[in-house]
């Protein structure tokens, strides 16, 4: 499968969020944008970069990609990296040390064949073990002190549970 990693300069991308609702980015020592390479991540990256520029803290940004080798689309990591490069944001890739998601599914099945092996809305080990926890390690290494803002793009249309969530506010 061929991946399109064509990017445009940030100036050519329209702002899609009201920056008046953004937190005071100058009060954070590190601003982390989680990126999968998908449209939610790209939009989040664009909005956060623009808000950081407006606050004069663009140098506090990093983009982090939780790599899920065999469990994500071909080229996802490369697309996420190209998107970060488009904005000049440092890019970090992290992955679970104990193997990828498919390794974990097999391990869970072998240990407990009677229990669900695949992640679900009630068994969120993909999120915790392959995304949240590895990204937390990056954050701890990058920010030895101070405040950290960890940004994640979520789309209400993605699931009924997300649709019920309130938008963030100050």
Q: Chunked in runs of 10, what are the mean pLDDT values of the chain (170 residues)?
A: 43 53 88 93 93 95 90 91 96 87 85 85 69 85 88 78 71
Q: What is the pLDDT of residue 91?
A: 97
- Residue 46: domain span: 23-156
Total domains in the chain come to 1
Q: Is residue 8 part of a domain?
A: no
Q: What is the pLDDT of residue 20?
A: 67
Q: What is the pLDDT of residue 71?
A: 80
In whole angstroms, what is the distance from residue 155 CA to residue 41 CA?
A: 10
Q: What is the pLDDT of residue 19?
A: 64
Q: Is residue 7 part of a domain?
A: no
Q: What is the pLDDT of residue 133?
A: 81
Q: Is residue 46 part of a domain?
A: yes
Task: Give the CATH number of the domain where residue 27 resides.
Answer: 3.40.50.620
Note the helical H segments in 36-169.
39-55, 76-87, 101-111, 125-127, 133-142, 160-163
Q: Is residue 13 part of a domain?
A: no
Looking from the CA of 92 toward its CB, the CA atoms found within 13 Å total 18
């Amino acid at each position: 499968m061929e991946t399109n990693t064509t990017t445009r300069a940030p100036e050519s991308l329209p702002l899609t969020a009201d920056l008046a609702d953004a937190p005071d980015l100058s009060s954070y020592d590190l601003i982390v944008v989680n990126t999968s390479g998908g449209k939610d991540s790209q939009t989040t990256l664009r909005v956060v970069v623009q808000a950081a520029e407006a606050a004069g803290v663009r140098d506090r940004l990093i983009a982090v990609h939780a790599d899920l080798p065999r469990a994500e689309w071909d080229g996802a990591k490369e697309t996420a990296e190209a998107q970060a490069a488009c904005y000049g944001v440092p890019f970090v890739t992290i992955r679970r040390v104990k193997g990828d998601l498919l390794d974990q599914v097999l391990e869970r099945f072998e240990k407990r064949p009677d229990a669900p092996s695949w992640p679900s809305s009630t068994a969120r080990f993909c999120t915790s073990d392959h995304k949240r926890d590895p990204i937390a390690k990056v954050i701890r290494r990058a920010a030895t002190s101070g405040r950290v803002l960890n940004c994640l793009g979520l789309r209400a249309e993605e699931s009924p549970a997300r649709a019920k969530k309130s938008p963030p506010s100050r």
